[in-house]
Protein backbone atom coordinates (compact mmCIF):
# COMPACT_ATOMS: atom_id res chain seq x y z
CA UNK A 1 0.00 0.00 0.00
CA UNK A 2 1.12 3.53 -0.81
CA UNK A 3 2.05 5.69 2.20
CA UNK A 4 0.85 9.31 2.25
CA UNK A 5 3.61 11.81 3.12
CA UNK A 6 2.61 15.14 4.65
CA UNK A 7 5.92 16.73 3.71
CA UNK A 8 6.83 17.84 0.15
CA UNK A 9 9.03 16.28 -2.53
CA UNK A 10 11.39 19.27 -2.34
CA UNK A 11 11.82 18.87 1.41
CA UNK A 12 12.46 15.15 0.98
CA UNK A 13 14.90 15.46 -1.93
CA UNK A 14 12.60 14.28 -4.75
CA UNK A 15 12.36 16.02 -8.11
CA UNK A 16 10.26 15.81 -11.25
CA UNK A 17 12.42 14.24 -14.01
CA UNK A 18 12.72 15.56 -17.53
CA UNK A 19 10.77 13.69 -20.21
CA UNK A 20 13.97 12.29 -21.74
CA UNK A 21 14.93 10.39 -18.56
CA UNK A 22 14.61 6.59 -18.16
CA UNK A 23 11.22 5.06 -17.51
CA UNK A 24 10.05 1.76 -16.08
CA UNK A 25 6.50 1.88 -17.43
CA UNK A 26 3.87 3.85 -19.31
CA UNK A 27 0.27 4.13 -18.02
CA UNK A 28 -2.92 4.62 -20.05
CA UNK A 29 -6.70 4.48 -19.53
CA UNK A 30 -9.08 2.77 -21.96
CA UNK A 31 -11.67 5.13 -23.54
CA UNK A 32 -15.38 4.35 -23.46
CA UNK A 33 -17.44 7.53 -23.02
CA UNK A 34 -20.03 7.54 -25.80
CA UNK A 35 -21.04 11.11 -24.88
CA UNK A 36 -17.50 12.22 -25.77
CA UNK A 37 -16.21 9.79 -28.39
CA UNK A 38 -18.30 9.28 -31.55
CA UNK A 39 -19.41 5.93 -32.94
CA UNK A 40 -19.66 4.29 -29.52
CA UNK A 41 -15.97 5.06 -28.81
CA UNK A 42 -14.90 2.19 -31.08
CA UNK A 43 -12.59 4.28 -33.34
CA UNK A 44 -11.01 5.81 -30.23
CA UNK A 45 -10.42 2.37 -28.73
CA UNK A 46 -8.67 1.25 -31.89
CA UNK A 47 -6.51 4.39 -31.82
CA UNK A 48 -5.61 3.91 -28.15
CA UNK A 49 -4.71 0.28 -28.93
CA UNK A 50 -2.40 1.44 -31.76
CA UNK A 51 -0.68 3.89 -29.43
CA UNK A 52 -0.32 1.32 -26.64
CA UNK A 53 1.02 -1.37 -28.98
CA UNK A 54 3.59 1.04 -30.42
CA UNK A 55 4.80 2.29 -27.03
CA UNK A 56 5.04 -1.26 -25.68
CA UNK A 57 7.88 -1.89 -28.15
CA UNK A 58 9.90 0.59 -26.09
CA UNK A 59 8.47 0.61 -22.55
CA UNK A 60 6.34 -1.81 -20.50
CA UNK A 61 2.76 -0.55 -20.55
CA UNK A 62 -0.28 -0.85 -18.29
CA UNK A 63 -3.80 -0.12 -19.51
CA UNK A 64 -6.38 0.74 -16.84
CA UNK A 65 -9.86 -0.42 -17.83
CA UNK A 66 -13.32 -0.28 -16.29
CA UNK A 67 -15.00 -3.55 -15.34
CA UNK A 68 -17.47 -3.30 -18.23
CA UNK A 69 -14.70 -2.86 -20.79
CA UNK A 70 -12.13 -5.27 -19.34
CA UNK A 71 -12.85 -8.22 -21.64
CA UNK A 72 -12.96 -6.00 -24.71
CA UNK A 73 -9.63 -4.30 -23.95
CA UNK A 74 -7.95 -7.56 -23.00
CA UNK A 75 -9.03 -9.13 -26.30
CA UNK A 76 -7.86 -6.15 -28.37
CA UNK A 77 -4.50 -5.47 -26.73
CA UNK A 78 -1.40 -7.65 -27.17
CA UNK A 79 -0.76 -10.14 -24.32
CA UNK A 80 2.43 -8.38 -23.17
CA UNK A 81 0.45 -5.25 -22.27
CA UNK A 82 -0.74 -5.42 -18.65
CA UNK A 83 -4.46 -4.73 -18.25
CA UNK A 84 -5.79 -3.82 -14.80
CA UNK A 85 -9.34 -3.08 -13.74
CA UNK A 86 -9.78 0.47 -12.47
CA UNK A 87 -12.84 2.70 -12.20
CA UNK A 88 -12.46 5.93 -14.17
CA UNK A 89 -14.49 8.79 -15.61
CA UNK A 90 -12.47 9.48 -18.76
CA UNK A 91 -9.25 8.47 -20.50
CA UNK A 92 -6.69 11.27 -20.00
CA UNK A 93 -4.01 9.57 -17.90
CA UNK A 94 -1.54 12.45 -18.24
CA UNK A 95 -3.94 14.67 -16.35
CA UNK A 96 -5.33 12.29 -13.72
CA UNK A 97 -2.37 9.98 -13.11
CA UNK A 98 0.45 10.72 -10.66
CA UNK A 99 3.49 12.74 -11.59
CA UNK A 100 6.34 10.43 -10.59
CA UNK A 101 9.22 12.08 -8.75
CA UNK A 102 12.65 10.60 -8.05
CA UNK A 103 15.31 10.89 -5.37
CA UNK A 104 18.78 10.92 -6.94
CA UNK A 105 20.55 9.92 -3.72
CA UNK A 106 18.41 6.97 -2.63
CA UNK A 107 17.04 5.92 -6.01
CA UNK A 108 13.50 5.97 -4.58
CA UNK A 109 10.42 6.89 -6.62
CA UNK A 110 7.23 8.51 -5.28
CA UNK A 111 4.18 10.13 -6.84
CA UNK A 112 2.51 13.53 -6.72
CA UNK A 113 -1.29 13.31 -6.58
CA UNK A 114 -2.81 16.63 -7.72
CA UNK A 115 -6.39 17.63 -6.99
CA UNK A 116 -8.33 16.92 -10.19
CA UNK A 117 -11.46 18.92 -11.00
CA UNK A 118 -12.14 18.02 -14.63
CA UNK A 119 -10.37 20.98 -16.27
CA UNK A 120 -12.49 23.49 -14.44
CA UNK A 121 -15.62 21.34 -14.40
CA UNK A 122 -16.00 20.31 -18.04
CA UNK A 123 -17.75 17.10 -16.98
CA UNK A 124 -19.21 15.62 -13.83
CA UNK A 125 -18.81 13.43 -11.90
CA UNK A 126 -15.02 13.24 -11.83
CA UNK A 127 -14.39 11.66 -8.43
CA UNK A 128 -13.21 8.36 -9.93
CA UNK A 129 -10.62 10.25 -11.99
CA UNK A 130 -9.48 12.09 -8.87
CA UNK A 131 -8.68 8.67 -7.34
CA UNK A 132 -6.65 7.33 -10.27
CA UNK A 133 -3.27 8.68 -9.11
CA UNK A 134 -3.66 7.08 -5.68
CA UNK A 135 -4.69 3.76 -7.21
CA UNK A 136 -1.74 3.71 -9.60
CA UNK A 137 0.66 4.35 -6.73
CA UNK A 138 -1.01 1.64 -4.64
CA UNK A 139 -0.55 -0.87 -7.47
CA UNK A 140 3.13 0.03 -7.72
CA UNK A 141 3.54 0.25 -3.91
CA UNK A 142 5.00 3.74 -4.24
CA UNK A 143 4.52 6.48 -1.64
CA UNK A 144 2.36 9.50 -2.36
CA UNK A 145 2.17 13.26 -1.84
CA UNK A 146 -1.28 14.89 -2.08
CA UNK A 147 -0.64 18.35 -3.50
CA UNK A 148 -2.75 21.27 -2.19
CA UNK A 149 -3.78 22.64 -5.59
CA UNK A 150 -5.78 21.77 -8.69
CA UNK A 151 -3.49 20.73 -11.52
CA UNK A 152 -3.21 18.39 -14.49
CA UNK A 153 -0.03 16.81 -15.82
CA UNK A 154 -0.59 18.29 -19.28
CA UNK A 155 -0.14 21.75 -17.75
CA UNK A 156 3.46 20.99 -16.76
CA UNK A 157 6.73 20.84 -18.68
CA UNK A 158 9.77 20.12 -16.48
CA UNK A 159 13.31 19.80 -17.78
CA UNK A 160 14.46 17.68 -14.81
CA UNK A 161 17.05 20.31 -13.88
CA UNK A 162 14.91 22.81 -12.02
CA UNK A 163 12.92 24.54 -14.77
CA UNK A 164 9.15 24.41 -15.25
CA UNK A 165 7.17 25.90 -18.13
CA UNK A 166 3.41 26.34 -17.72
CA UNK A 167 0.65 28.80 -18.66
CA UNK A 168 -1.26 31.41 -16.71
CA UNK A 169 -4.34 30.65 -18.76
CA UNK A 170 -4.52 27.21 -17.17
CA UNK A 171 -3.12 27.12 -13.66
CA UNK A 172 -4.05 30.69 -12.71
CA UNK A 173 -7.52 30.34 -14.19
CA UNK A 174 -10.29 31.03 -11.64
CA UNK A 175 -11.71 27.59 -12.43
CA UNK A 176 -8.46 26.01 -11.16
CA UNK A 177 -7.34 28.30 -8.33
CA UNK A 178 -10.09 27.21 -5.89
CA UNK A 179 -9.05 29.54 -3.09
CA UNK A 180 -5.30 29.62 -3.78
CA UNK A 181 -3.49 32.85 -4.57
CA UNK A 182 -1.13 33.08 -7.55
CA UNK A 183 1.83 33.08 -5.16
CA UNK A 184 0.57 29.98 -3.35
CA UNK A 185 0.16 28.14 -6.65
CA UNK A 186 3.69 28.99 -7.75
CA UNK A 187 5.07 27.91 -4.37
CA UNK A 188 3.19 24.60 -4.57
CA UNK A 189 4.70 23.96 -8.00
CA UNK A 190 8.16 24.68 -6.60
CA UNK A 191 7.59 22.44 -3.57
CA UNK A 192 5.91 19.48 -5.29
CA UNK A 193 8.03 19.37 -8.45
CA UNK A 194 11.25 20.60 -6.81
CA UNK A 195 11.92 23.28 -9.40
CA UNK A 196 13.83 26.52 -8.97
CA UNK A 197 12.29 28.56 -11.77
CA UNK A 198 8.74 28.73 -13.12
CA UNK A 199 8.32 30.28 -16.56
CA UNK A 200 4.74 31.51 -16.98
CA UNK A 201 3.56 31.70 -20.58
CA UNK A 202 0.41 33.81 -20.98
CA UNK A 203 -1.64 31.17 -22.81
CA UNK A 204 -1.72 27.90 -24.65
CA UNK A 205 -2.98 26.93 -28.10
CA UNK A 206 -6.30 28.28 -29.35
CA UNK A 207 -9.16 25.76 -29.52
CA UNK A 208 -7.68 23.82 -26.58
CA UNK A 209 -10.51 22.74 -24.27
CA UNK A 210 -8.10 22.37 -21.33
CA UNK A 211 -7.65 26.16 -20.95
CA UNK A 212 -4.18 26.20 -22.43
CA UNK A 213 -2.21 23.11 -21.47
CA UNK A 214 1.41 23.75 -22.33
CA UNK A 215 1.96 20.24 -23.75
CA UNK A 216 0.27 21.25 -27.03
CA UNK A 217 2.40 24.36 -27.41
CA UNK A 218 5.95 24.22 -26.01
CA UNK A 219 7.66 21.08 -24.71
CA UNK A 220 11.14 20.09 -23.60
CA UNK A 221 13.07 17.69 -25.80
CA UNK A 222 15.85 17.84 -23.21
CA UNK A 223 17.21 20.51 -20.87
CA UNK A 224 17.75 23.71 -22.80
CA UNK A 225 15.90 22.52 -25.91
CA UNK A 226 12.24 23.36 -26.53
CA UNK A 227 9.99 22.25 -29.37
CA UNK A 228 7.37 24.87 -30.29
CA UNK A 229 4.19 24.37 -32.30
CA UNK A 230 4.46 26.70 -35.27
CA UNK A 231 2.62 28.20 -38.23
CA UNK A 232 3.48 30.94 -40.71
CA UNK A 233 -0.18 31.48 -41.61
CA UNK A 234 -1.01 34.93 -40.26
CA UNK A 235 -4.74 34.26 -40.59
CA UNK A 236 -4.54 31.30 -38.20
CA UNK A 237 -5.17 32.14 -34.50
CA UNK A 238 -2.21 29.88 -33.67
CA UNK A 239 0.14 32.34 -35.41
CA UNK A 240 -0.08 35.00 -32.71
CA UNK A 241 0.29 32.49 -29.87
CA UNK A 242 3.29 30.70 -31.39
CA UNK A 243 5.12 33.94 -32.21
CA UNK A 244 4.37 35.37 -28.76
CA UNK A 245 5.71 32.22 -27.12
CA UNK A 246 8.84 32.28 -29.30
CA UNK A 247 9.58 35.85 -28.26
CA UNK A 248 9.09 35.09 -24.56
CA UNK A 249 11.24 31.94 -24.55
CA UNK A 250 13.93 33.65 -26.65
CA UNK A 251 14.37 36.20 -23.87
CA UNK A 252 14.15 33.68 -21.03
CA UNK A 253 16.78 31.47 -19.46
CA UNK A 254 16.39 28.23 -17.56
CA UNK A 255 17.13 27.62 -13.87
CA UNK A 256 20.85 27.40 -14.68
CA UNK A 257 20.94 30.63 -16.67
CA UNK A 258 21.09 28.94 -20.08
CA UNK A 259 19.27 30.39 -23.06
CA UNK A 260 16.88 28.04 -24.83
CA UNK A 261 17.38 26.50 -28.22
CA UNK A 262 13.92 26.60 -29.80
CA UNK A 263 12.95 24.31 -32.67
CA UNK A 264 9.80 25.20 -34.59
CA UNK A 265 7.51 22.28 -35.43
CA UNK A 266 4.91 23.01 -38.09
CA UNK A 267 1.36 22.22 -36.99
CA UNK A 268 -1.08 20.08 -38.99
CA UNK A 269 -3.68 21.78 -41.12
CA UNK A 270 -6.85 22.71 -39.27
CA UNK A 271 -8.77 19.66 -38.03
CA UNK A 272 -12.47 20.01 -37.35
CA UNK A 273 -15.38 17.86 -36.26
CA UNK A 274 -17.33 16.55 -39.22
CA UNK A 275 -21.13 16.54 -39.30
CA UNK A 276 -21.13 12.74 -39.16
CA UNK A 277 -18.82 12.65 -36.14
CA UNK A 278 -20.87 15.26 -34.29
CA UNK A 279 -24.08 13.33 -35.00
CA UNK A 280 -22.59 10.11 -33.63
CA UNK A 281 -21.87 11.43 -30.11
CA UNK A 282 -24.50 10.55 -27.52
CA UNK A 283 -26.30 13.67 -26.24
CA UNK A 284 -25.89 14.79 -22.62
CA UNK A 285 -29.24 15.41 -20.92
CA UNK A 286 -30.80 15.40 -24.36
CA UNK A 287 -28.45 18.09 -25.71
CA UNK A 288 -25.90 17.48 -28.47
CA UNK A 289 -22.68 19.21 -27.43
CA UNK A 290 -20.51 18.66 -30.51
CA UNK A 291 -20.86 20.90 -33.53
CA UNK A 292 -19.80 20.27 -37.11
CA UNK A 293 -16.92 22.58 -38.01
CA UNK A 294 -15.69 22.86 -34.41
CA UNK A 295 -11.88 23.10 -34.59
CA UNK A 296 -9.55 21.12 -32.33
CA UNK A 297 -6.04 22.09 -31.21
CA UNK A 298 -3.82 19.86 -33.37
CA UNK A 299 -0.07 19.53 -32.83
CA UNK A 300 2.79 17.08 -33.30
CA UNK A 301 4.60 17.96 -30.07
CA UNK A 302 1.95 16.24 -27.94
CA UNK A 303 4.05 13.06 -28.04
CA UNK A 304 5.37 10.36 -25.69
CA UNK A 305 9.14 9.99 -25.21
CA UNK A 306 9.93 6.35 -24.55
CA UNK A 307 13.23 4.76 -23.65
CA UNK A 308 13.94 3.78 -27.25
CA UNK A 309 11.66 5.93 -29.38
CA UNK A 310 9.51 9.04 -29.51
CA UNK A 311 5.90 8.27 -30.43
CA UNK A 312 4.35 11.12 -32.41
CA UNK A 313 0.71 11.50 -33.46
CA UNK A 314 0.00 11.66 -37.18
CA UNK A 315 -3.25 12.66 -38.84
CA UNK A 316 -2.98 11.66 -42.51
CA UNK A 317 -2.09 15.32 -43.05
CA UNK A 318 0.30 16.83 -45.65
CA UNK A 319 2.40 18.22 -42.78
CA UNK A 320 2.91 14.84 -41.05
CA UNK A 321 6.29 14.21 -42.70
CA UNK A 322 7.64 17.68 -41.85
CA UNK A 323 6.44 17.36 -38.25
CA UNK A 324 8.15 13.99 -37.83
CA UNK A 325 11.37 15.24 -39.41
CA UNK A 326 11.53 18.28 -37.11
CA UNK A 327 11.09 16.11 -34.04
CA UNK A 328 13.61 13.51 -35.25
CA UNK A 329 16.22 16.27 -35.60
CA UNK A 330 15.86 16.98 -31.88
CA UNK A 331 16.18 13.33 -30.81
CA UNK A 332 19.34 11.92 -32.40
CA UNK A 333 19.46 9.03 -29.88
CA UNK A 334 15.84 7.95 -30.44
CA UNK A 335 13.77 6.62 -33.29
CA UNK A 336 10.80 8.84 -34.06
CA UNK A 337 7.72 6.74 -34.74
CA UNK A 338 4.62 8.24 -36.28
CA UNK A 339 1.46 6.60 -34.95
CA UNK A 340 -1.32 6.80 -37.56
CA UNK A 341 -4.98 7.50 -37.04
CA UNK A 342 -4.61 9.87 -34.06
CA UNK A 343 -7.46 12.05 -35.28
CA UNK A 344 -9.78 9.68 -33.39
CA UNK A 345 -8.03 10.74 -30.18
CA UNK A 346 -7.54 14.38 -31.12
CA UNK A 347 -11.18 15.27 -31.73
CA UNK A 348 -11.86 14.95 -28.00
CA UNK A 349 -9.16 17.46 -27.21
CA UNK A 350 -5.77 15.77 -26.87
CA UNK A 351 -3.28 13.39 -28.39
CA UNK A 352 -0.59 10.85 -27.47
CA UNK A 353 0.98 12.94 -24.72
CA UNK A 354 -2.43 13.50 -23.12
CA UNK A 355 -3.33 9.81 -22.88
CA UNK A 356 0.00 8.56 -21.53
CA UNK A 357 1.76 8.94 -18.17
CA UNK A 358 5.44 7.96 -17.87
CA UNK A 359 6.60 6.21 -14.70
CA UNK A 360 10.20 7.27 -14.21
CA UNK A 361 12.95 4.96 -13.04
CA UNK A 362 14.70 5.59 -9.76
CA UNK A 363 18.43 5.90 -9.90
CA UNK A 364 21.46 7.66 -8.53
CA UNK A 365 23.15 10.54 -10.29
CA UNK A 366 26.87 10.79 -10.41
Instruction: Give the integer Cα–Cα distance in Å for 68 and 34.
Output: 13
* In the predicted structure, residue 285 carries a pLDDT above the cut 90: no
Confidence (pLDDT) at 96: 98
| Residue 170 annotated as catalytic | no
Quote the percentage of the chain above a pLDDT of 90.
93
Confidence (pLDDT) at 365: 57
Instruction: Give the integer Cα–Cα distance in Å for 359 and 262.
Output: 26
Average the pLDDT over each of 113-117, 169-173, 280-284 and give the range with the smallest value: 280-284
Confidence (pLDDT) at 361: 97
Confidence (pLDDT) at 81: 98
Assign 332 a pLDDT band (cuts: 50, 70, 90): very high
* Whole-prediction pTM: 0.97
Note the pLDDT tens digit of each residue in 218-251.
999 999 999 999 999 999 999 999 999 999 999 9
Confidence (pLDDT) at 30: 98
CB atoms within 10 A of CB 251: 9
List the catalytic residue out of 26, 64, 158, 354.
Answer: 354
Mean pLDDT value of segment 90-101: 98
Quote the percentage of the chain above a pLDDT of 70.
98
As a whole number, the mean pLDDT across the chain is 96
- Over the range 181-191, which residues count as b (16 or more CB within 10 Å of their CB) and which as e? eeeebbbbbbb
Higher pLDDT, 338 or 364: 338
Confidence (pLDDT) at 47: 98
Note the pLDDT tens digit of each residue in 247-272.
999 999 999 999 999 999 999 999 99
In the chain, what are the domains?
A: 4-360 (3.75.10.10)
Confidence (pLDDT) at 364: 60
Average the pLDDT over each of 47-51, 197-201, 281-285 and give the range with the smallest value: 281-285
Mean pLDDT value of segment 52-58: 98
Amino acid sequence: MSQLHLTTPRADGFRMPGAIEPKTRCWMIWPERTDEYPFGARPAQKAFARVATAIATSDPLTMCVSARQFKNARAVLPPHIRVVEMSNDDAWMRDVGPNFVVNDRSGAVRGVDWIFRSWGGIYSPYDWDDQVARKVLDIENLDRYRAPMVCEGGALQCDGEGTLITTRQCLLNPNRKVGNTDAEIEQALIDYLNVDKVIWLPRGCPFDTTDGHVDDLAVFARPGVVLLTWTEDRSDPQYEVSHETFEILSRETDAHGRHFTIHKVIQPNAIEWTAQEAAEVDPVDGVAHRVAGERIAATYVNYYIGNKAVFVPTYEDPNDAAGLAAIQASFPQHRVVGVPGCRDILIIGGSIGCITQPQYAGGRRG
